[in-house]
Amino acid sequence: MFHEQRMTVPDSPADLWAEYADDLAAIVTERGPAKAAAETDLERERLEAVAAGELPELTLEEAAAIQSLAEGAPDPETTKTMALEHLLLGMSTAVLDVDAVESELEIDLDAKEIQQKIESRAPMSFDEFVHVQYVIADGAP
């Protein structure tokens, strides 16, 4: 689950993305796209794509809404908060600042944007989250 603390990651951000795509697909498949749509306010078509393993463009909030459908998972806001707090904790553990994260990212975000997104002062896409989480966990001792 993406909101848990990561200390290791697969070989690439794409592999991490695929891992989360599988997790989210299993949740939507188990719940059913129609029921998941009613419970998350996400469009059924987008949830059908998630169930098929084709993660559409999702925000971190939307991914958290899907994750919250899993049995025993926290509510969407808590899931998002935990995910972002684990990024900050991971940065402390790996002794990384936002400049170091920026230098390792495969996507185009500057240090200020990274800081704003991690602190929830700017919206974060799930893709951005995965890339930032990958860099942080990959840098952990």
Give the pair of three-digit tokens for residue 99: 């400049």
Q: Which residue is it, tokens 């989480």?
A: 133
Residues facing 125 on adjacent strands: 59
pLDDT band at 42 (very low <50, low <70, confident <90, very high): very high
Q: Look at the block and give the residue holding tokens 């200020």.
A: 112
What's the whole-number average pLDDT of the chain?
94
CA 95 to chain centre: 21
pLDDT tens digits, one per residue of 63-117: 999 999 999 999 999 999 999 999 999 999 999 999 999 999 999 999 999 999 9
Token reading at 36? 């998941």
Counted residue by residue, the chain has a size of 141
Residue bearing tokens 């999702």 = 58
Contact 89, 4 (CB under 8 A): no
Do 98 and 115 form a contact (C-beta atoms < 8 A)?
yes
CB 6 within 8 A of CB 93: no
